[in-house]
Amino acid sequence: MVEQYNIAEVNEAVAAANPDRPAIITAETTITYAELTSRTRRLANALHQRGFGCHTERSELAGHQSGQDHMAIYLHNGPEYIESMLGAFKARVAPLNVNYRYVADELRYLLDNSKARIVVFHDTFAPTLAEILPDLTDVALLVQVPDDSGNDLLPGAVRYEDLLAEGSSDRVPLQLSPDDLYILYTGGTTGMPKGVLWRQHDIFISAMGGRPFGQAEAFPSLDAIVEASRNGGARMMSVAPLMHGAAQWATFTGLTGGNTIVFPADVTRLDPADVLATMEREKVLTLQIVGDAMGRPLVEELEAGSYDMSGLLALVSGGAALNTALKDRFLEQVPHAVILDAVGSSETGAQMGHTSMKGATATGTFTPGPETSVVAADLSAELAPGSAETGWLAQRGHVPLGYLGDEAKTQATFPVIGGTRFAVPGDRANWKADGIIELLGRDSVTINSGGEKIYAEEVEQAIARHPRVYDVVVVGRPSERWGSEVVAVVQCAEGETVTPEELLEEISASLARYKLPKAFVFRETIVRSPAGKADYRWARTQAEEDAAQG
């Protein structure tokens, strides 16, 4: 029987076994596991003393409800992000992610929807937060983290280090629970952001290191986790923002395994030279990114510069796929490494992966994890490998409780099929006879044109292979003839141009005629989320404006 885990308890045990090992390395400082324990306990005790924590236990609540106070983390990457999450966990406060690119209206929506009682934020975000504070009735504590922006302390806010100084480094006098919440807000690139409620035990097993690498079964005990952590110490880096689930999962998988999280010097943007120089200096073993938007500038810098990547074992892309041409270029520079495409979502955790190595790259087919499957389009049954039906990618077992405050969407996304509760967030998939799953794409961005269903990601992958294309997003726009027509919004590589005719010639060899774009819209820059995900709403606007201009 596997133990039920609380992430803070796991962290405490792993840290106690490896006290002098670096937990976090930045350009300015190194924080050992012992120091991380002290600092996160101080934060937790300060929160607990101020009355924040858990007020209603899980057994008394429905899946879309929370009985804990919520902490919104409105930060760039850095030690304070990790400390805030762990400190919240240790105080039985539920942390949640904030997209730091949000304008005031978007930030107001998220903080109101999440009922955040605490907001931890960098100085640079103070003006945006100040603009909406009068509208936020739930916020009771503002915690401000210094940076070089020069912005003053907001009225009523407390400095981060001053708050830590209020608390003791003793263990917080609380009984932590595997039911304590981890909240992850969706990116909102196709709809309004939703807060996904996870039990800590479930997200730990699914995506934060609860299973030994490459194994289907979870660690059987806390002792087994601690023993495995004694062999840790690998240097790991995520250049994706920690406000993105994939970055949080990679980071906490590292920490619960006793490894070391490395941050580049510049955490406000992707600086490829800084990232690669830091990786070289710190002998980074694994690098986590999100798709082409982060992979391409890193590959270009590798090709232009001279970096010793002998320590790099794996490049992990989660949240968006890397196209095959980019994989080939990366592996030409780092031939000993492997590339892992990891598939998952806020509502499922980690689901499946595909490993590429030099001479064997591909994108779009994946080996499913132990709790991943495909269910029928009408949600009536779980499909079997080899089924001819295109169904929904699904997850069972360790899945979320629901969406915060939304019972109807909780029931729709987490249906019970054949007596088993599944997470079905909306990705179409085919389950091949050999057990491999072919991922077709998110249904919400699927284009229905002339009675045919076209998956945007498939068309994007084909166009992205053209050497003069830097980035591309594919959407549908209204068409009198087709109902909806395929439109590609394209950003050319710097100093390059490409014609629609050249693109059609390139992709017609790999795509059926009905999938070919009816129009190409060229823009200087493709807008993506800070995590590198496509902003389909922006792309649709570009496509529709192009049509209006004739």
514 near 454, Cβ under 8 Å? yes
The Cα–Cα gap between 436 and 432 comes to 5
| DSSP 8-state assignment for residue 58 | G
The pLDDT assigned to 527 comes to 92
Q: Is the pTM of this model over 0.85?
A: yes
The pLDDT assigned to 191 comes to 66
- Sequence-distant (≥ 6) Cβ neighbours of residue 215 within 8 angstroms: none
| DSSP 8-state assignment for residue 137 | S
The token pair at 146 is 């210094």
| DSSP 8-state assignment for residue 133 | G
118 near 140, Cβ under 8 Å? yes
Report phi then psi at 389, rounded to 5: -80, 135
The Cα–Cα gap between 353 and 172 comes to 38
The token pair at 422 is 């599944």
SS3 427: strand
Find the helix or strand (DSSP H, E) in which 40 lies: helix 33-49
Q: Find how far residue 271's CA is from the centre of its chain.
A: 19
The token pair at 503 is 């693109």
The token pair at 273 is 């030279």
| DSSP 8-state assignment for residue 186 | -
Q: Residue 514 carries which side chain, given as an amino acid letter?
A: Y
468 near 488, Cβ under 8 Å? no
Long-range contact set of residues 209-214: C-beta below 8 Å, sequence gap at least 24: 209/10, 209/252, 209/253, 209/254, 209/255, 209/256, 209/257, 210/5, 210/256
The pLDDT assigned to 188 comes to 64
Of 213, 256, 274, 234, which Cα lies nearest the Cα of 77?
274
Number of residues that this document lists for the chain: 550
453 near 476, Cβ under 8 Å? no
The token pair at 294 is 């982060």
The pLDDT assigned to 1 comes to 66
The pLDDT assigned to 309 comes to 97
The Cα–Cα gap between 414 and 345 comes to 13
Q: What number of other Cβ atoms are within 10 A of residue 491's Cβ? A: 16
174 near 45, Cβ under 8 Å? no
- Sequence-distant (≥ 6) Cβ neighbours of residue 314 within 8 angstroms: 285, 286, 287, 337, 338, 339, 340
Delineate the domains of the chain, giving CATH numbers in brackets.
7-227 (3.40.50.980), 371-442 (2.30.38.10), 450-548 (3.30.300.30)
- Sequence-distant (≥ 6) Cβ neighbours of residue 8 within 8 angstroms: 86, 89, 90, 176, 180, 200
Query: Which single residue is written with the structure tokens 């909806």?
Result: 484
Measured between alpha carbons, how far is residue 240 from residues 173, 203, 265, 303, 532 in Å? 34, 19, 14, 21, 8
Report phi then psi at 537, rounded to 5: -65, -45
| DSSP 8-state assignment for residue 171 | P
The token pair at 16 is 């106690």
Q: Render each residue's pLDDT in the chain as its tens digit; 550 residues.
A: 679 999 999 999 999 999 999 999 999 999 999 999 999 999 999 999 999 999 999 999 999 999 999 999 999 999 999 999 999 999 999 999 999 988 899 999 999 999 999 999 999 999 999 999 999 999 999 999 999 999 999 999 999 999 999 999 999 999 999 999 999 999 765 568 999 999 999 999 999 999 998 888 999 999 999 999 999 999 999 999 999 999 999 999 999 999 999 999 999 999 999 999 999 999 999 999 988 889 999 999 999 999 999 999 999 998 777 888 899 999 999 999 999 999 899 999 999 898 999 888 776 789 999 999 999 999 999 999 999 999 999 999 999 999 999 999 999 999 999 999 999 999 999 999 999 999 887 777 888 887 787 889 889 989 999 999 999 999 999 988 888 899 999 999 999 999 999 999 989 988 888 899 999 999 999 998 877 888 898 999 999 999 888 6
The Cα–Cα gap between 460 and 440 comes to 12
Report phi then psi at 293, rounded to 5: -60, -30
The pLDDT assigned to 176 comes to 98
SS3 53: coil
Looking from the CA of 112 toward its CB, the CA atoms found within 13 Å total 13
204 near 7, Cβ under 8 Å? yes
